[in-house]
Chains A and B, each alone.
Chain A
């Protein structure tokens, strides 16, 4: 079903909206949570919480991209859930992604304390806008969805080594971008 029709169902407060949302984007939503959370039960709870979040926020909101909207909610829920876990339960796939991102913010450099995450997000939006589509795809799949490199390689048809090299260049580029925007002290 088209986004506009699903949104109409939400605005009509029809529970069919959730079913259509799940039917159309359920796989992407579960994948987003599943990349971050190990436990299938955690994934399911997170997805359900995300659907509830969508139900509670539409209306009044009417997102331009419904799938982007619901995936963002589920990702933020999954990250919050991970943060509440003990160190012993830390998620290895997320740890790997975080280690890679550390290239962008070296240990000796400090993100300005008062910097709002939202400001950083807008800077990343500008960084993404300047990338070619393939580069943007790689970056989002790895650092937003936390996809394994092997999976990205399978999706794009490029070799894993090529993907890794490209991601390294993109992290360098992001670091330069954040420096240029004055976001790194």
Chain B
């Protein structure tokens, strides 16, 4: 029977995969992916050293979800990050607070979204338009006629953005640069086939006496949604509280744009996702 043929064929797979599965050790995967084998040797070395350092020192919050993998990079690990405002379009950054990596895919389906629910004081931003980026930043601006008292003093009430997971193949990552994450929780939303990461994050900003700006502490909630099969990610971050942010996420509608994107379609493979940065 066919199924038995498949089962028998499984018996002849590379024994390294069998050895690797003797115990569950997500930080010590032995078998590199086909594509990883093509990574530049320098990158392999730096990632391996960083991973070894993280594991050896034991100070990291190395975590894992069935789709997402996340870790706190070592302080000396550096990333070349896309940054429009720099002369060459990138900046080099160390001391990132969180690195989120994704399963590798050949192609990602690019998507767009629209909000199905927003908090009452954000309804001025509700629209039927499909988009790939949403920000409620202007609601926090007291000098703007759109400013809303409830968001006074916030940095970013709500931000939503889409990414293609293929952008982060071969060791690329979504990074938190400024915000320190708290405990990371993992869920799977079966009805939408989404892997979900949820966490709280905080950021301290020093005072700037020359502009009479006091020291401030900001608190954020973050949700990352991943559709592994289609290869897209949606980030939601904001200061509207976890319950409301979750409701926004649960009510998002998605549709494909019709574009498919591959690793080589992106110039940069490290992107920061702090709210309000840049």
Query: Which residues of A does B touch, CB under 8 Å?
Result: 28, 63-65, 67-69, 71-72, 75-76, 79, 94, 97-99, 101-102, 104-105, 109-111, 117-118, 120-121, 124-126, 128-138, 140-141, 143-145, 155-156, 158, 162, 165-166, 169, 172-173
- Report yes or no: B33 in contact with A130, Cβ–Cβ below 8 A: yes
CA distance A125 to B20 in the complex (A): 13
CA distance A17 to B26 in the complex (A): 30
Chain B's closest residue to A31 (CB) is: B22
- Report yes or no: A98 in contact with B24, Cβ–Cβ below 8 A: no
Q: Any chain A CB within 8 A of the CB of B192? A: no
CA distance A162 to B190 in the complex (A): 9
Q: Any chain A CB within 8 A of the CB of B3? A: yes
Query: Which residues of B does A touch, CB under 8 Å?
Result: 1-24, 26, 29, 31-35, 64-67, 69, 103-104, 188, 190, 193, 228-229
- Report yes or no: B7 in contact with A79, Cβ–Cβ below 8 A: yes
- Report yes or no: A69 in contact with B188, Cβ–Cβ below 8 A: no
Task: Determine how close the nearest CB of chain A comes to the CB of B139; give it in whole angstroms.
Answer: 37
Chain B's closest residue to A68 (CB) is: B15
CA distance A28 to B65 in the complex (A): 26
CA distance A37 to B190 in the complex (A): 34
Q: Among A28, A121, A129, point to the contact of B12 (Cβ < 8 A).
A: A121
CA distance A97 to B24 in the complex (A): 21
- Kindly list chain A residues whose C-beta atoms are within 8 Å of the C-beta of B22: 28, 67
> 9 A–B contact pairs at CB < 8 A?
A65-B19, A67-B18, A72-B12, A105-B6, A111-B2, A120-B6, A130-B34, A137-B20, A172-B229
- Report yes or no: B66 in contact with A162, Cβ–Cβ below 8 A: yes
- Kindly list chain B residues whose C-beta atoms are within 8 Å of the C-beta of A105: 2-3, 6
Given contacts A133-B26, A140-B21, contact A101 B229 (CB under 8 A): no
Given contacts A65-B15, A134-B26, A136-B21, contact A121 B2 (CB under 8 A): no
- Report yes or no: B66 in contact with A166, Cβ–Cβ below 8 A: yes
CA distance A117 to B8 in the complex (A): 7
- Report yes or no: B10 in contact with A68, Cβ–Cβ below 8 A: no
Q: Among A97, A125, A166, point to the contact of B14 (Cβ < 8 A).
A: A125
- Report yes or no: B18 in contact with A71, Cβ–Cβ below 8 A: yes
Task: Determine how close the nearest CB of chain A comes to the CB of B34; give it in whole angstroms.
Answer: 4
- Kindly list chain A residues whose C-beta atoms are within 8 Å of the C-beta of B9: 117-118, 120-121, 124
- Kindly list chain A residues whose C-beta atoms are within 8 Å of the C-beta of B5: 111, 117, 120
- Report yes or no: B103 in contact with A131, Cβ–Cβ below 8 A: yes
- Report yes or no: A143 in contact with B229, Cβ–Cβ below 8 A: no
- Report yes or no: B31 in contact with A128, Cβ–Cβ below 8 A: yes
Given contacts A28-B22, A65-B19, contact A132 B11 (CB under 8 A): no
- Kindly list chain A residues whose C-beta atoms are within 8 Å of the C-beta of B13: 121, 124-125, 128, 144
CA distance A75 to B142 in the complex (A): 69
Task: Determine how close the nearest CB of chain B comes to the CB of A80; give it in whole angstroms.
Answer: 9
- Report yes or no: A162 in contact with B188, Cβ–Cβ below 8 A: yes
Chain B's closest residue to A95 (CB) is: B3
CA distance A129 to B1 in the complex (A): 26
Given contacts A117-B5, A134-B26, contact A128 B17 (CB under 8 A): yes
- Kindly list chain A residues whose C-beta atoms are within 8 Å of the C-beta of B2: 102, 105, 109-111
- Report yes or no: A98 in contact with B3, Cβ–Cβ below 8 A: yes
- Report yes or no: A71 in contact with B15, Cβ–Cβ below 8 A: yes
Chain A's closest residue to B69 (CB) is: A132
- Report yes or no: B4 in contact with A63, Cβ–Cβ below 8 A: no
- Report yes or no: A132 in contact with B103, Cβ–Cβ below 8 A: yes
- Kindly list chain A residues whose C-beta atoms are within 8 Å of the C-beta of B104: 130, 132
Task: Determine how close the nearest CB of chain B comes to the CB of A174; give it in whole angstroms.
Answer: 9
